[in-house]
Amino acid sequence: MGTWGTGILENDNALDYYDRFFEYYNEGLKPEEINEKLKNEFSDLNEESGNIYDFWFAIALAKWETCSLDEETLAKVSQYIEDEKDITIWQELDADAQTIEDRKKELEQFLKKIQIPRDKPKPRVMVEPKSSLLKKEDLNRVPRWKFWKR
């Protein structure tokens, strides 16, 4: 896992979970459906690796941004932060004292932020289908015999 800071989305795993949430969100799925889909997709999460904390923090942020943060998710995140389970993982990974202190502050600010409902949900972004690299007219420009001639 790559970590470049103490913020909620400043590691590869959390950013992957957050991005995945918004992929589904932008496809038109409801946040409740996305939550279940992601829980199934990332069913290998566990407390020993610390991935579960990154997952729930990222999902809580995404749900807050979409005005769909439910009490269950908020309670889970709040408990993880209060129990300092995520901090324990950082300590086991030999983070220095300043980094630990910075992470604690980030988590406290994050919890305060998501406890206040957001005014408007983040708008969905229309995802345009990717077009093929070749167009039908491009195929007509290449002599067909070049494809099967040996």
Calculate mean pLDDT across residues 83-88. Answer: 90
pLDDT tops 60 at residue 1 = no
pLDDT reported for residue 132: 62
Q: Is the pLDDT of residue 139 over 80?
A: no
Q: What secondary structure does DSSP assign to 19-73, as a single string?
A: HHHHHHHHTT--HHHHHHHHHHHTTT--TTTSHHHHHHHHHHHHHHHTT---HHH
Report the sign of the C-alpha dihedral through residues 32, 34, 36, 39, in that order: negative
Q: What are phi and psi of 47, to 5 degrees?
A: -75, -30
- Each domain of the chain, given as residue ranges in start order, spans 12-148
Mean pLDDT, to the nearest integer, of 82-110?
91
Average pLDDT across the chain, whole number: 86
Q: What is the mean pLDDT of residues 69-84?
A: 95
Residue predicted with more confidence, 85 or 24: 24
Q: What is the pLDDT of residues 18-52, one digit of tens each?
A: 999 999 999 999 988 998 999 899 888 877 667 89
